[in-house]
Amino acid sequence: MDLKLRKQRWQTHPFRFAPDLVTTLSARVAADSTSSGKQLTAAQYVDAAMSLYLPVSIEQQLDLAEDFLVSREADVDAGKQGSHRVSPEVFAIASRLPNELRQAGHARTAVHVYSGALDLYLRALEEEGLLGGSA
């Protein structure tokens, strides 16, 4: 709703996710759009995932990245980049994240942090079933 009412406050940010998560996200958005009869976008899902699961502190971000890598047995491709409009709250964290990780000696880790948050969100959605449908 905020995206519709306060679109000018939302900013575009580039996110890099594990390629299979991009595929899963696209399929989920399409399925939820069909089941709910609503026009949904990947950006809405990315914003929700980051709002719910993206930690603020570097230590928690690194824990999330590690959990994601362990769940994949460290077998993660370089990632697929896409830009999404996100809320000011998410932008405030996401826009600083890559540089802060680089300064902390963890360059190229943002993909695993972002992927970890999106993966947790998609798993939670899978447990809930389709939007507007039955589980």
Tell me the three state secondary structure of residue 103.
helix
Full pLDDT tens readout for the chain, 135 residues: 455 556 678 999 999 999 999 999 999 999 999 999 999 999 999 999 999 999 999 999 999 999 999 998 877 777 889 999 999 999 999 999 999 999 999 988 999 999 999 999 999 999 998 887 554
Residues 31, 24 contacting (CB under 8 angstroms): no
The string of pLDDT tens digits covering residues 34-64 is 999 999 999 999 999 999 999 999 999 999 9
**Where in the chain are the domains?**
2-128
